[in-house]
Structure 1
Amino acid sequence: MNLKNPFWAKPFVLLAAVAMVGACGLPRVGPTKKEIYSGSVQRQGDAFVVSVNRRVNTATAIYPSLGFSPAFLNAGVLGSDTIRPGDTLGLTIYENVEDGLLVPEGTPATSLEEIQVDGDGYIFVPYAGRIRAAGNTPEAIRRIISEKLGSQTPDPQILVRRLAGDGATVSVVGGVTGSGVYPIEQPTRTLSAMLAQAGGLAIPQDVAQVTVSRGNRQETIWFDDLYTHPRYDIALRNGDRILVEQDARSFTALGATGSQRLVTFDRQTISAIEAIALVGGLSTALADPTGVFVFRNEPEEIAEMVLGRTDLVGPQRMVYVLDLTEPNGMFEARDFAIRDGDTVYVTEAPYVQVQKVVGVLTGATSSLATVQDTISTE
């Protein structure tokens, strides 16, 4: 049977295709600008949508503040000769008699090696007894032993050496070449020297953070600050725990960008324009440069400064809008600080959806026409 198409067949086909597109929807990277604005508080939504300007940049320019407190900064460097529990000492004793207390006959001196300072801070020396070593210098210990032995042998001469610093140690772990427990010795009495002793950094220097735990205190600095601010090169104390780790902050990039992914911070501060560049910039085929959004949960005090209000309670959902086509748009984006947990989203240009509709309609019409031609030839 040969069926001919009536004159109204093609318009019917187009209407059917439009209905199909409207019913099924089109794929897209995310919400449109209109949909984002419709969710604003001003339109009975639950997020404040704010255009970025100089005032907003000033209010939101919050960066991680790292540094040591005066308790750490004002701690003086420990004397390299101060003896502590756990240290190991060596003694050399000279006597001016042939048959001395400790010196064997025919020898000028005797050595007592590896005398461990016990947990209470004492050592034991034959004929001198138990002597307080912790808190004293080798010179002070020498005088004490000389006095003790002086009543039993004439004019003894004593040499006291600190052999090791096992009693005063720190642990270094994390992003260093050689994690381990290291003694505090004369060359390693400060933080930077101890990190060097541990082999230096094994992570990127720009995002390295150094945390020092001392007792119940825990404080962190940027590694770079050890050299740009020498006062942060603090003196170490026995039992300090040093952790070196990479900055864990990140933001998410979505929408019409070169790539959509979770991005870790590769520097201490990242601006909105740098964040876009890190994911390959705006997609030239898809992006709307007037629709760059940053989604963030903003602390109450910052949200009040941004909005000029004093009645907010708790963190607020904020959507910051950047229009890169405005005269100062690039400058505002350059000055807008991206923070940990932000979502940077770029909307599609309006014509992209039009192109998709046209593509779908063209494809649908072609498919229906093929079906009709097939029927007509039967």
Structure 2
Amino acid sequence: MKNTTSRLLRGVLLAAVTLSVASCGLPRSGPSKNEIFEGSVMRSGDAFVVSVNSRVTRATSVTPALGFSDEFINAGVVGSDTIRPGDTLGLTVWENVDDGLLSGAEGNATTLQEVQVDGAGFIFVPYAGRIKAAGNTPEAIRRIITNQLEEQTPDPQVEVRRLAGDGAAVSVIGSVGGQGLYPIERPSRTLSGMLARAGGITIEPEIAQITVVRGNQQGEVWFQDIFDDTRLDIALRNGDRVLVEQDTRSFTSLGATGNQTRVPFESQTISAIEAIATVGGLQTNAADPTGVFVFRNEPAEIANMVLGRDDLVGDQRLVYVLNLTEPTGMFEARDFAIRDEDTLYVTEAPFVRWNKTISALLGGLNSVNSLAGAASGLGG
């Protein structure tokens, strides 16, 4: 009778443990492969689950479209000698008389330092009057002043120099050697020259993005593209704002990978196989190489191409499936592009879940035996 009671109690406790494991579930890093497929629109979910092949790879191979508009590209280089409002000029006038209009008895040369071009673009020169400087070169201004003075003093000789001023300047901020406001001079009339003038960039060139804001227009370009395509090394204009910043794109890695984290892009493009390698690869003792998933909100245009449809509107939830054990699986993963805000998820292998279940049951059996032993002792 005592043995029968012990066996009965052990059976009841074992059944309770089994039901508990089945109902409460086991610890795991995320959904199983079957649960993901169950979320397909073909079953009970709202996502499209798509196996990656060469056609899907081509349809989804989209990289950020960076570049400058025609307005930026077609803008000509500003002449380094063109005077603008706010510039500062230096003037020297020689007169061919001992006692000239401007010079005194001590000499026949008169120097006017730091003559400011006003907001309307004019300067004032004694006896020459108000002179239009903005839009002219120093040589043109020299001729104008000479013509004005030669009516009052014989054979005047005039020199006009453009000094450093704030009439044509560009602000450079972000990841550069020296942030600041820089004048447009002959060496810094283009984007690359201005970046060099600001000390160069201080981040990896591969992931450096350059933004130029001009009035209500804005353009972005990869730093390396400036040198690959000379058209993108645009001419700068007064008031331009140049921002240098690191690429802000990233993807998230979850599941049976070497590292579960948010990962910034380290290059302009990154493939699925590179993304897996970046986070330490698959966990050899846990990952299912047939269950590598990429979760993404795909624009309707691309979603229609991938699914061979034309009726989808708005962003669509797509789950891309990579099976690394197929003959072309590694190639497909190498060619499949990861995009900003993607989630890379690797499921656990079935045997891992089986081992967890067995471990839980064995632990439960030990507890059952202990409880049964205690009950038997109480019954004795």
Deviation at 1:8, TM superposition (A): 4.6
Is structure 2 residue 137 aligned with structure 1 residue 141? no
Could you say which residue in structure 2 is the equivalent of 1:249?
Answer: 249
Distance 1:294 1:7 in 2: 50
Could you say which residue in structure 1 is the equivalent of 2:96?
Answer: 96
Could you say which residue in structure 2 is the equivalent of 1:274?
Answer: 274
8 Å Cα contact 1:213/1:219 also seen in 2: yes
Deviation at 1:102, TM superposition (A): 0.7
Deviation at 1:350, TM superposition (A): 0.7
Distance 1:38 1:28 in 2: 18
Q: 1:21-42 deviations in whole A, cap 9, x for unaligned?
A: 1132111111111111111111
Distance 2:200 2:369 in 1: 71
Could you say which residue in structure 2 is the equivalent of 1:163?
Answer: 163
Deviation at 1:260, TM superposition (A): 1.0
Could you say which residue in structure 1 is the equivalent of 2:305?
Answer: 305
> Comparing 125-134 with 302-311, which one deviates more in the overlay?
302-311
Distance 2:358 2:11 in 1: 15
Could you say which residue in structure 2 is the equivalent of 1:293?
Answer: 293
Could you say which residue in structure 2 is the equivalent of 1:191?
Answer: 191
Q: 1:150-186 deviations in whole A, cap 9, x for unaligned?
A: 0111001011100113100011111112111111011
8 Å Cα contact 1:271/1:337 also seen in 2: yes
8 Å Cα contact 2:6/2:375 also seen in 1: no
SS in 1 for 2:357: helix
Q: 1:97-142 deviations in whole A, cap 9, x for unaligned?
A: 1111111213131110000000000000001000000011111111
SS in 2 for 1:56: helix
> Comparing 131-140 with 20-29, which one deviates more in the overlay?
20-29
Could you say which residue in structure 2 is the equivalent of 1:87?
Answer: 87
8 Å Cα contact 1:165/1:185 also seen in 2: no
8 Å Cα contact 2:14/2:368 also seen in 1: no
8 Å Cα contact 1:92/1:110 also seen in 2: yes
> Comparing 126-135 with 245-254, which one deviates more in the overlay?
245-254
Is structure 2 residue 214 aligned with structure 1 residue 214? yes
Residue identity over aligned pairs, in percent, reads 65
Distance 2:158 2:15 in 1: 108
SS in 1 for 2:42: helix
User: What is the identity, as a one-letter code, of the residue corresponding to 1:19?
Assistant: L
Q: TM-score, normalised by structure 1?
A: 0.96
Deviation at 1:376, TM superposition (A): 4.5
User: What is the identity, as a one-letter code, of the residue corresponding to 1:328?
Assistant: T
Distance 2:329 2:360 in 1: 35
Distance 2:151 2:363 in 1: 111
User: What is the identity, as a one-letter code, of the residue corresponding to 1:145?
Assistant: I
Q: How many residues align?
A: 377
Q: 1:185-233 deviations in whole A, cap 9, x for unaligned?
A: 1111110111111111122221110011112110000011111222211
Is structure 2 residue 350 aligned with structure 1 residue 350? yes
User: What is the identity, as a one-letter code, of the residue corresponding to 1:66?
Assistant: L
Deviation at 1:3, TM superposition (A): 6.0
Distance 1:32 1:109 in 2: 90
Distance 1:24 1:217 in 2: 57
Could you say which residue in structure 2 is the equivalent of 1:367?
Answer: 367
SS in 2 for 1:224: helix
8 Å Cα contact 1:170/1:183 also seen in 2: yes
Could you say which residue in structure 2 is the equivalent of 1:322?
Answer: 322
Distance 1:244 1:335 in 2: 30
SS in 2 for 1:63: coil
Give matches, 1:36-185, under 5 Å: 36-185=36-185
User: What is the identity, as a one-letter code, of the residue corresponding to 2:176?
Assistant: V
Distance 1:148 1:158 in 2: 11
User: What is the identity, as a one-letter code, of the residue corresponding to 1:43?
Assistant: R
* Structure 2 runs not aligned, ≥5 long: none
Q: TM-score, normalised by structure 2?
A: 0.96
Distance 1:6 1:142 in 2: 115
Distance 2:170 2:22 in 1: 68
* Structure 1 runs not aligned, ≥5 long: none
Q: 1:269-327 deviations in whole A, cap 9, x for unaligned?
A: 01111111111111112110000111111111111111111121222111110000000
Runs of 4+ aligned structure 1 residues displaced above 6 Å come to none
8 Å Cα contact 2:89/2:163 also seen in 1: yes
Could you say which residue in structure 2 is the equivalent of 1:21?
Answer: 21
Distance 2:88 2:76 in 1: 23
Distance 1:268 1:201 in 2: 17
> Comparing 52-61 with 64-73, which one deviates more in the overlay?
64-73
Distance 1:319 1:221 in 2: 30
8 Å Cα contact 2:94/2:156 also seen in 1: yes
User: What is the identity, as a one-letter code, of the residue corresponding to 1:215?
Assistant: G
User: What is the identity, as a one-letter code, of the residue corresponding to 1:320?
Assistant: Y
Distance 2:194 2:313 in 1: 46
Distance 1:22 1:297 in 2: 33
